[in-house]
A and B are shown apart, each in its own frame.
Chain A
Amino acid sequence: MRITTDNFPIYLAFACTAVSLVAYIVSACRRDRGADSRKSVWARRAYFASVGCIAYATIYLLQQILSQARYDIDYIYSYSGPGDELLYRVSSLWAGQEGSLLLWAMLVGIVGVVLVRRLRGPSGAAMAFWSTFQLSLLILLLVKCPFAKLAGYQPGVIGAGLNPLLKNPWMAVHPPVLFLGYAALAVPAAMAIQALIEGDLRRWAGRCLPWALLGWVLLGSGIFLGMVWSYEVTGWGGFWGWDSVENASLIPWLTSTALVHGLIVQRYRGRMAWPNIMLALGTFLLVFYAAFLTRSGVLKDVSKHSFAGLGAYKPLLGLLIFYAALCIGLAVGRVRSAKATTHPLALSKDFAVAVGAIALVLYAAVVLVGTSAPLFSKSVVAAGFYNRMSIPIAVAAVVLIVLASALGWSRSDGQSPARHFNQSLWKSGSHIAHLGVLISIVGIVASTTGGSRKLVLGLDEPGRPALGYTFKYTGISQLAGDKERVNLTAKRGDLTRDVSILIKGSPNGTVTVPHIVSSPAGDLYISPGDQPVEWPIARPVVRLIDGRWESEPARIPESDALITLTSVRAEERSVKLLYEAAGRKPVEVTVADGKPAAIDGYELTFAGYEQDDKRAMSDNVAVKIAVTGNGLVEKAIIEVIWKPLIWLLWLGLLLIVIGGLMACRRRFREKRTIDDGILPDSP
């Protein structure tokens, strides 16, 4: 790629990161004392400069998006437009492959700056690893540069804007939180490498725990935000589809959950040092594996989320192999020399926590194998596999959480869990998070016990019963701002509710918003699908076959009469149709935009082309002819789903995040004393 003023900061960031990497490696080899050595100072300066360049590139891209003056940049043209609100112009920064990579690189840079300032003692190996990580992202950014020029750009071209499905507050914040979680989860890996090289695993667990917790809670929050978006926006009535790309983020979250538990056991009992090292490195590898699955295009035919092959397959695969070799090589080569204190394991809270960590790793392995199936066999694993395998894990989680809360830590301090809980509100984060897990499990199980039913409702026809309600379609209303509202009523006993489905138009498509009626008993979810109202429409087609136009007739809905296109005047939005019905002579009628034709009791109205005008003029022209009269009416097609107690799931997830953040605060405060060489007694 040619260096331009737009992409120059990325090249500069690459060079600075490479300098910092070399300086940190030299520093690590000489075992320099981080803050004091000259090599470390240079490494740090180069690293800060690289982060500055990435931040500049990010802000510059954002500024160009907001200015709406640079549609010559492919990324800006593809993901933003003048009609987008400010929030969605900002979020278009991370709406696509290249922008989200830049965001990830910037967040890694920021976390790295915090890490540099927080790490005490020798940190060359950790920061060398961190610089390598940042360098990897910059390589990907050079391959998939967000500043690449739009091919065939003509002055005056503007972007169509962000996809309407992404214009949602949950989706606006989902990627930054997720990527911040990914960035934070690389810290335990960096610290693990430092600990392996130093051969001291004792203090490692205490230093690593707050970062592991932070990464865990952020990645979890990102996943949860995606679940809420999926439920509220996509209209299928679910929150987790077991899609490969969804799973790709779940797997490192599961292993990071195991890591957090393992670190707690290691910190207080000295056990699980080796598994924790493997979990820290494994979680990092799984984060990179998630990037590989999502961005390389390997799942483009089996996943609804995966980016298509965008030229990043080889660099991603190469980097994945490099990190796997680095992590496994270091772990195998150094872990035997690493010493950690151990205590005998008794039936105690730490035993339950350790067993829970094993269960989480097993669960992660199940999801990993299922998700990776398309890579080694030409098949996809059905969602039922994951659902059935989740049952024993959910049972184990409930048993272990209850068991762990009933047992004390296997140390002779005589303190019960209840006393820990009462000591300080900030120390109850773990209890709140585990309560959240239990409540979430109840919410998930309960929400799957409701039913669903598809309804086809004719305009003003008598209501149809479903799930205890009687539904009726009363028409469609035009609203301001290219919006429409599909009006329905849901009657139960004497109570009649208005149900409205909003259809939002935009230059690059429409989006339908499901209607959710929430109550303490659960949600009544009205799913509109992609097109909630079907008009009686006939679609005659003409196709260009071997240089000749051939017409394909269309049937008038609910009758045997046929209409065939005999002439199309695209510019005038006018067509000629041959009307054929049994027992009468064929008749040619002209139907134009705003000028319907009447025949045999039907009114035929021009309703546009099937595609936009530009595509309609290709070799396949489908014309929409709306048909009314003779009892034909428009129909609303909806799916009604009952989701019992689903609010328990959202409450549970909220508690997990709150508990996780409280635990983070506590562990970061404790880390200061650990850095000073003091291990706190109380778990």
Chain B
Amino acid sequence: MSKGVYIIGAVLIAAFVTMGTTEFVRSQTPYCETLQQVKAAPAGSVVRLIGSLVPGSANLTSGGDLCFSVKDKNSQIVRVTYKGIRPAGFDTAPKLLLRGTYGSAGFAADDIQTQCPSKYRNK
């Protein structure tokens, strides 16, 4: 096997590692446990917020968007709007993992994750 093949291999690996590093830095989304941390993030930046649904707060806007309130671990409440449909387990999940941006109208979520059912306990 010629040295050229090893050089090409090393260049490809280096290119892959460089791409990975760049993408990794670019794709990081900070996660926040409190509304205070969300507000402290740079304006318009995408963050993840962990909180629990305020019972009875979910409703549909006239435009069909889902609107609900989430309570952070300090019991601070923020209004959330979401253009998608309610994900499975939305009402029963102990916590919601929201991704989106914070602004004057509240938290605009573009993704909602609910915790896996195997974690739930009926008490």
Contact = CB atoms under 8 A, between A and B. Distances in A.
Interface in B78-123: 83-92, 94-95, 97, 99, 113-123
A312 interface: no
A177 to B, nearest CB: 15
A86 interface: no
Nearest to A348: B1
Nearest to B15: A392
Interface in B6-65: 9, 13, 16-17, 19-20, 23-24, 26-31, 33, 46, 48, 50, 55-57, 59-60, 62, 64
A456 B83 CA distance: 11
Interface string A345-373: 11100010001001000100010011001
B56 to A, nearest CB: 3
Interface string A292-315: 000000000111111110000000
A660 interface: no
Nearest to A514: B88
B105 to A, nearest CB: 18
B118 A378 contact: no
A529 B85 contact: yes
B106 to A, nearest CB: 17
Contacts of B86: 529-531, 637
Contacts of A378: 30-31
A533 B30 CA distance: 34
Interface stretch (A188-196, A252-260, A322-330, A383-391): A383-391
A377 interface: yes
Nearest to A164: B117
B90 A530 contact: yes
Contacts, number: 163
Nearest to A537: B59
Nearest to A344: B1
A276 interface: no
Given A379-B30, A530-B86, A347 B1 contact: yes
Given A355-B9, A529-B88, A381 B29 contact: yes
Contacts of A639: 84-85
Contacts of A234: 88
A581 B83 CA distance: 30
Contacts of A136: none
A384 B23 CA distance: 9
Given A379-B30, A454-B85, A362 B23 contact: no
A95, A344, A374, A531: most-surrounded residue (chain B CB, <10 A): A531
A109 interface: no
A622 to B, nearest CB: 3
Nearest to A392: B16
Given A369-B20, A381-B29, A531-B86, A558 B62 contact: yes
Contacts of B29: 379-382
Nearest to A538: B59
A96 interface: yes
B113 A346 contact: no
Interface in A515-544: 527-531, 534, 537, 539, 541
A234 B90 CA distance: 11
A578 B87 CA distance: 34
Contacts of A530: 85-91
B85 A373 contact: no
Nearest to A532: B85
A508 B89 CA distance: 11
A362 B13 contact: yes
Contacts of A377: 28
Interface in A542-590: 558
Given A234-B88, A611-B55, A370 B64 contact: no
A529 B48 CA distance: 21
Nearest to B73: A301
Given A344-B1, A370-B24, A635-B60, A362 B89 contact: no
A78 interface: yes
Interface string A646-664: 0000000000000000000
Contact of A385 (B27, B55, B89): B27
A389 B123 contact: no
A163 B28 contact: no
Contacts of A403: none
B85 to A, nearest CB: 3
A557 to B, nearest CB: 8
Given A304-B113, A377-B28, A389 B19 contact: yes
A622 B1 contact: no
Interface string A429-457: 00000000000000000000000001010
Contact of B122 (A159, A346, A379): A159
A323 B118 CA distance: 27
B118 A95 contact: yes
Contacts of B62: 558
Interface of A: 77-78, 95-96, 159-161, 163-166, 233-236, 241, 243, 245, 301-308, 344-347, 351, 355, 358, 362, 366, 369-370, 373-374, 377-382, 384-385, 388-389, 392, 454, 456, 508-509, 511-512, 527-531, 534, 537, 539, 541, 558, 610-611, 615, 620, 622, 624, 635, 637-639
15 contacts: A77-B122, A301-B97, A304-B97, A346-B1, A362-B16, A382-B29, A385-B23, A392-B19, A511-B88, A529-B86, A529-B90, A530-B88, A530-B89, A539-B57, A638-B85
Given A78-B123, A163-B118, 18 more contacts: A96-B121, A164-B117, A235-B88, A301-B33, A303-B116, A304-B116, A307-B119, A345-B1, A351-B1, A373-B28, A392-B16, A454-B64, A456-B64, A508-B122, A531-B90, A622-B55, A622-B56, A637-B64
